[in-house]
Structure 1
Amino acid sequence: MQVTKENKDDLNAVIRIVVDKQDYEKEVNDKLKDYKRKANMPGFRPGMVPIGMIKRMYYKPILLEEINRLVSENLTKFIDNEKLNILGEPLTSKEEQKEIDFDTQESFEFVFDIGIAPEVEADITSKDKLPYYVIDANKKLIDKHADSYTSQYGEMTEGEEVQEEDVVKGRLSQLTPEGEVIEGGITVENASLSMKVVKDEEVKKQLTGAKVGDVLQIDLKKAYPSEAELTRMLNISKEQVESESMLFQLTIEEISRWKKAEINQDFFDKAFGEGEVTSEEEFRNRLKEEIEKAYAQNSDFKLFLDAREKLVSKFKAELPEEFIRRWLLESNEGKLSEEDIDKDFEKVRDDLKWQLIQDALIKKYELKVEPEEIEQLARQQVLMQFRQYGMANVPEEHLNNYAAEMLKKDQERRRLYEQRFQEKITQLVKETVKLEEKKVKDEDFSKLFDKK
């Protein structure tokens, strides 16, 4: 088998693969013999079907499968061995690939176009200047997070009168337009109506102030314009929602209200672990630390985006744009049109530039990510997920098990590696460039991302 590369220019090349009969003959014949051994056809004893018949039936598909394997493996091997830094994937050459006749030919030539990545010299120096935004953890922000904590660790209580955020439970009975209960009509026991979801102001006023035992006439189509909401609530089809009367009698049986947790020791223990926080002052200091830590990550991410933008703007090397456009079109066949590619091409080009810059930085500064770092990052993310559900104290064994499951997924593992490299590049930027610290309010910091 012959595999060669011919350069068209600095950014484009073709790879030729010639597959001769001697490359595939033994493997194809072995597979034909295996098919003969396993063949079970009418008129023949098992394993006794003539090889000529087996060959007529299976030779071509076996040949195609074997040649496809040989070409794929050797193309990848050649690119790796030659250390070719390519963009996208090899594409069958439109200009140089000749038509192949698998019925008559014994030798086959395959020609692939490749896009060559340019040599990139990326550098970060102390001459570079970048803003570093620090979010002010002021009283307003701490109050906001305190309110979020007390809401998260609150509990459902009974209310005497319906208020704007309550959940009303009761019996729903379908009515005629004249307000009479329809015998055999739609009836729902223990129906649940959330005041937060009610859209109509008139219905909200009607419900507000109502008590357990009150009987009201509710136009559910006004209260909940969403067909999906009504089909779920009433357990009926969309067709019934459209054709049936949505005027219902509601007999209120229960008023449920979410009550925020009181700021006391029981709340502190649930939120942070027993004895970890013992006063409101410690609670607010803990929130301040959490806010500063969380926003430091946001500040670092903004710095990363600004550094990326600066480095991409310095990128002067040319890219094989015609090849990239064709690769995008063929790899997304039926999903993207040429107009779609034109519209988003600037972003795609910048993403490719950044990938080359990032690879250059990783190589130049010898940045490495060890498996232990990824395991630790996985545990941290699992712990954050548990905390979102109000579980602050999770046994180490549980964290390790969930993290191990996460790392079994290739996509998740790649995402964590990319995140860790991003963190290391951000740290490199922080240690190298001149940072101009700027204090901003939370809402102003959020607006900085809207500009992008």
Structure 2
Amino acid sequence: MNISQENSGKLNAILNVKVEEVDYAERVEKVLKDYRKQAKVDGFRPGMVPMGIIKKMYHTPVLVDEVNKLVSESLFNYLQENKVNILGEPLPHKDDVQKFDFEKDTEFEFKFDLGLAPELNMEVSAKDKVPFYKIKVDKKQQGEHKESLLQRFGEFKAVDKAGNDELIKGSLVKVNKEGKEVENGIRVDNVSMSLEMMKDDDQRVLFSGAAGGDQVVFDVKKAFPNDTELASLLRIEKTEVAMLEGTFKCFIDEVNKFERAEPGQEFYDKVYGEGEVKTEEEFTKRVTEEIALNYERESEYRFMVDAREALIKKAKIDLPVEFLKRWMVETNEQITEEQVAEDLEKYEDDFRWQLIKEHLLKQQDIKVSEEEALEAAKAMVLNQYMQYGMSNVPEEYLENYAREMMAKPEESRKFYEQKGEEKLISYIKSIVKLDEKEVSSEKFRKLYEK
């Protein structure tokens, strides 16, 4: 096999791959022999079909498959052995229209376009200046965070009568226009129905003043016009909703109203654990610490954004732009030429940052251990639980769930890359000059409007 490379412009190259019969003959013969062992042809015992018949049946498709595999393997090996750093992946040469006759030809020549990665020669130094924003915690954020916790730990409590935002519990029964139960009609017990979620005011007002033991006839389709919601409420298939006439009777068992929690020891124990917080002052202190921790994460993320921008600007990296535009469109069905053109600057900077990351990680010999990647996975799992208000998750649960994700190669790679970037950003932060700025949360948010 003969592979040669020729430059076709700055950061562009063409790879010529010439395949001769000697390169693939043994591979094709081996596959055909395997086919012969398994072939079932009338008139012949298994494994005894003449090779001539096997070749007539399978030679061409096997040849196509093996030549393509050979070319792909050879491409990869050539790039690796010759240390050719590329962006994206090789693409069939744009001006090369391949017309092979695999039934007659014995030699095949392929051409591929390459987008070459530029060589970087940069370092991070104390001369590099990057802003670092410290977000102030004020009383407004404290109040909002407290209210959020009081709402999260609130609960429904029984009340005597319904108003307009209560939760009705009971049964729903299909009735006719006279309000009598329809024989073999829909009946749903143990229903929870929110008056606040009703879309029709006229239907909601029918429940006003209703209490446990009362019966209310209403049009369920007017109250809940969304087919998905209604199917869930009545426990029927969504396709059945269209044929449904909407008059139902609600047999009310109880009326509940949501009440936010009230500050006090019971509330503090629910949120932070028994005895961890005992006074309003301690509650305010914990809330402030939680907000500050969130703001610290936001500050660190913003530093990463600004450091990325500063280093991209410093590096002044050229790219094989036309090749990359073509590669993005041809390898991703979800991306169009118009989308690439519209977001080209963003795509270019993504490629530049990837090159900078790889360069600095190698330069500083920054590596990620299996344990560090696992910790990153556990942190993500814990964050998912916390979104549902579960912060005290047993370590064993986190460990098992994280290991399940790490067992998937694609997921595992993401955690290694994430941790690698975190360590790189920490290194950058330790070297550059930090331009520290204390700002309000409102001013900080406006940074993302630029």
Using the size of structure 2 for normalisation, the TM-score is 0.89
The reply on whether 1:105 has 2:105 as its aligned counterpart is yes
- Match of residue 114 from structure 1: 114
Where does structure 1 lack aligned partners over 5 or more consecutive residues?
A: none
- Match of residue 133 from structure 1: 133
Change (3 A) 1:145 1:111: same
- Match of residue 439 from structure 1: 438
- Match of residue 169 from structure 1: 169
- Match of residue 294 from structure 2: 294
Distance 1:340 1:406 in 2: 32
The reply on whether 1:83 has 2:88 as its aligned counterpart is no
- Match of residue 353 from structure 1: 352
Kept in 2: contact 1:135–1:445 (CA 8 A): yes
Distance 1:202 1:312 in 2: 60
Distance 1:165 1:312 in 2: 54
- Match of residue 247 from structure 1: 247
1:378 Cα deviation (Å)?
1.8
Among all aligned residue pairs of Structure 1 and Structure 2, give the percentage whose two residues are the same amino acid: 43
- Match of residue 318 from structure 1: 318
Q: In structure 2, what residue type is equivalent to 1:282?
A: E
1:142 Cα deviation (Å)?
2.8
Q: In structure 2, what residue type is equivalent to 1:412?
A: E
Secondary structure (helix, strand or coil) at the match of 1:300 reads: helix
1:268 Cα deviation (Å)?
4.3
Change (3 A) 1:189 1:129: same
CA deviation string 1:365-402 (max 9, x = no partner): 33332222111222222233334444443333332212
1:260 Cα deviation (Å)?
4.2
1:52 Cα deviation (Å)?
0.9
* Higher mean C-alpha displacement, 67-76 vs 366-375: 366-375
Distance 1:323 1:73 in 2: 22
Distance 1:32 1:187 in 2: 65
Q: In structure 2, what residue type is equivalent to 1:432?
A: I
Secondary structure (helix, strand or coil) at the match of 1:146 reads: helix
Kept in 2: contact 1:212–1:252 (CA 8 A): yes
- Match of residue 233 from structure 1: 233
CA deviation string 1:110-148 (max 9, x = no partner): 211111122234444434444322222233323333333
Distance 2:201 2:446 in 1: 32
CA deviation string 1:35-60 (max 9, x = no partner): 22332321112222111111111222
Change (3 A) 1:234 1:98: closer
Query: Residues 343-422 of structure 1: matches in 2 within 5 Å?
Result: 343-422=342-421
* Higher mean C-alpha displacement, 359-368 vs 200-209: 200-209
Distance 2:300 2:281 in 1: 28
CA deviation string 1:203-222 (max 9, x = no partner): 44443543222333433333
Change (3 A) 1:79 1:274: farther
Change (3 A) 1:172 1:368: same
Kept in 1: contact 2:317–2:352 (CA 8 A): no
Kept in 2: contact 1:153–1:390 (CA 8 A): no
1:275 Cα deviation (Å)?
4.8
Number of positions where the alignment pairs a residue of Structure 1 with one of Structure 2:
449
- Match of residue 218 from structure 2: 218
Kept in 2: contact 1:175–1:245 (CA 8 A): no
1:338 Cα deviation (Å)?
2.5
Change (3 A) 1:48 1:237: closer
CA deviation string 1:321-372 (max 9, x = no partner): 2211221221124x44332332232322221122122223323333332222
CA deviation string 1:13-65 (max 9, x = no partner): 11122222222222222222222233232111222211111111122222222
Using the size of structure 1 for normalisation, the TM-score is 0.88
Where does structure 2 lack aligned partners over 5 or more consecutive residues?
A: none
1:108 Cα deviation (Å)?
1.9
Distance 1:164 1:409 in 2: 49
* Higher mean C-alpha displacement, 296-305 vs 262-271: 262-271
Q: In structure 2, what residue type is equivalent to 1:371?
A: E
Kept in 1: contact 2:179–2:217 (CA 8 A): no
Change (3 A) 1:270 1:191: closer
- Match of residue 41 from structure 1: 41
Kept in 2: contact 1:155–1:258 (CA 8 A): yes
Q: In structure 1, what residue type is equivalent to 2:120?
A: V
Secondary structure (helix, strand or coil) at the match of 2:343 reads: helix
1:414 Cα deviation (Å)?
2.5
Kept in 2: contact 1:128–1:434 (CA 8 A): yes
Distance 1:203 1:81 in 2: 74
Kept in 2: contact 1:271–1:390 (CA 8 A): no
Change (3 A) 1:41 1:315: same
C-alpha RMSD over aligned residues: 2.8
Secondary structure (helix, strand or coil) at the match of 1:8 reads: strand
Distance 1:415 1:358 in 2: 15
Distance 2:250 2:87 in 1: 64
* Higher mean C-alpha displacement, 297-306 vs 148-157: 148-157
Secondary structure (helix, strand or coil) at the match of 1:356 reads: helix
Distance 1:54 1:65 in 2: 16
Distance 2:131 2:194 in 1: 46
